[in-house]
Chains A and B, each alone.
Chain A
Amino acid sequence: MFFRLLPWEYGIRNLFRRPLRSGLTLLALTTVTLMVLVVVGFVRGLERSLAVSGDPRTVIVFSLGMGENLEYSSIPMGTTDLLAASTQGIQERYGRKYASPELYLGTKVRLSQDSPESLGLVRGLLPAALLVHRQVEIISGQWPQAGEVLVGRLAATKLGIAKQQLAVGSTLWFEGRSWRVCGTFSAGSGTFESELWCRLDDLQQTLKRQDLSLVAMTLGPTADFQDLNLFCKERIDLELQAIRQTDYFATLRKDYAPVRWLAWLVVSLIAGAGVFVGLNTMYGSVVGRIRELATLQTIGFSRRAAILSVVQEGTILAMTGALIASVIAYGLANGAAVRFTMGAFELQIDSLTLLIGNGIALCLGAGGALPPAMKIFRLSVVDGLKAV
């Protein structure tokens, strides 16, 4: 049914009635929303990094029995040619097969021989890698020559060093020798971005290894993953397994599910604290105003209008906080790089994150104001007029 609302200014001015209390509540709600935004941005960034890393047409072949652990996988160098020859319909262009032999390891990396070390992810590849990993783009410099590395956009974050320390021309030290940075690449926010790429032969020589960790291949439109899968299963002697890259990252995502649940738990705990802040303020606001709200009802405003005006106040407060938090989060936290075991990723303060954060803030404001507003519901107008 139609009913007249109390004037909008009434709600706003009521917030200025106790400027200190409103100010502190605003600060608390801003902090809560900011924390929610950062946590949601963290989860979204992590998920995005794992989600964009997979290409449905790309297949990874590696040692049987290694789970998802590519570092411990070891397959003979000849596997690439064998697979390329025995798999039907591998993507091909100008006679070059889309097959990328790769040697991958996690190793201690330092800036110079005697600076502090941290764990880096190193991958040795052939230029064919750029065909298979289509999301990879060299943004500065060029493909590495001997003794050179191409660094991912987030490699510095993964190593815990400043971005400038990995600028083109600077040097790195790992596996007992120094490497010169020859360029930077991006990979559409995928996990590759935290890696250091060098030439396959270069890495093999340095490590004194002749094997590979994996072969990544792009299947053409006529190819069937099951053929390749079957080939790996039938040739028991090769001890190979094939997995779609998307499935590979899906299993990784599953491994990170507890992180996600933990993050949502943190969000709900923060939000819970936020509700109490809202509740406390709005209770104070309503209790000090019982007679006034009863007067407004005596004048002819409906009980619903009185309740709504209180909810409106809580909502204005929460949304102001959310707006400030959104600006801060977008301005300062968006794109901030975070390190984790798999590599590094960036906080994603995108429209969905903002939507979730602001939605939670709205619930905090309205939800925190509703129980106090219900006091008006329970108290009769006559009793309200007697209140001091």
Chain B
Amino acid sequence: MPVIEVRDVTKQFMKGSETITPLRDANLEIERGEFVSLMGASGTGKSTLLNLIASIDRPTSGTIVVNGTDITRLSRSKLANWRAANIGYVFQTHNLVPVLTAYENIELPLLLLPLNRAERRKRVEIALGAVDLLDRANHYPRQLSGGQEQRVGIARAIVADPTVVVADEPTGDLDETTSSQILDLLQRLNRELGTTFLMVTHDPDAAAIAGRRLRLEQGRLVEVADHVPVPAALEVR
């Protein structure tokens, strides 16, 4: 059974009298443990789709089932709780809380789960270790480099062991070297922890690390073929 099922999802925005429909009867299934990348021109609705799956926005029509729960039917307050356990969100700009240390930032999602202090400590340390920042636990975001901040952001997204981690252009703000480090990290986490990843990116190289690549075109999702397409003329009939 797929861990994410997007069924006939349409999302419309009203901009004055104009209606924008970035998603039109979109369908998508993602299996547990997959690493899926999502590309598409700017303004096609990639972030919109990510936000719908992350349950911070609601579709105009259609259903989204994540880990067996139809999240389009949950109330706002139930969704908040549900998100804490099921969604890890990696932002383009890390969005760390500046007044909290790296450790405290990573601990935030755990505060919403029934865990005691010792259990939280263990999990935060595992997450810090996974992003190789154990020595920076007590640093505030302003004391970290851009790449380190993004690693803390990733640790915060994985610490609660969520059903799916969504990442919206996680390397969009980083230089090439740091980007590739972050991408390696995401790939490693996917392999080692078996976490499902859905990553939006504009960078074809970044998309290439994914086991499965998608494009958003005219409100629908299209699979990008893995293999190099065979020229039509050579095709054997």
Contact = CB atoms under 8 A, between A and B. Distances in A.
A4 B112 contact: yes
Interface string A288-305: 000110011111111110
Interface in B76-112: 76-77, 80-85, 87, 89, 91, 95, 97-100, 104, 108-109, 111-112
A14 B99 CA distance: 6
B91 A7 contact: no
A301 B100 contact: no
Contacts of B87: 298, 300
A32 B194 CA distance: 58
A96 interface: no
B89 A382 contact: no
Given A299-B84, A301-B112, A382 B57 contact: yes
B208 interface: no
Interface in A8-38: 9-10, 13-14, 16-17
B57 A380 contact: yes
Nearest to A11: B99
Contact of B99 (A13, A302, A381, A385): A13
B56 A297 contact: yes
Interface string A109-146: 00000000000000000000000000000000000000
- Chain B: number of interface residues, binned into ranges: 20 to 34
A3 interface: yes
A236 interface: no
A296 B99 CA distance: 13
A190 B77 CA distance: 59
Do most interface residues of chain B lie in helix, strand or loop, or is the interface mixed? Answer: helix
A207 interface: no
Contact of B100 (A3, A13, A302, A381): A13
Nearest to A292: B97
B109 A300 contact: yes
Nearest to B52: A382
A187 to B, nearest CB: 56
B99 A299 contact: no
A1 interface: yes
Contact of A298 (B56, B76, B85, B97): B56
Ordered nearest first, which 5 A-B pairs have the shortest CB separation? A300-B84, A13-B99, A295-B95, A381-B56, A300-B83
Interface of B: 51, 54, 56-57, 76-77, 80-85, 87, 89, 91, 95, 97-100, 104, 108-109, 111-112, 156
6 contacts: A7-B104, A298-B56, A300-B82, A301-B80, A303-B77, A381-B57
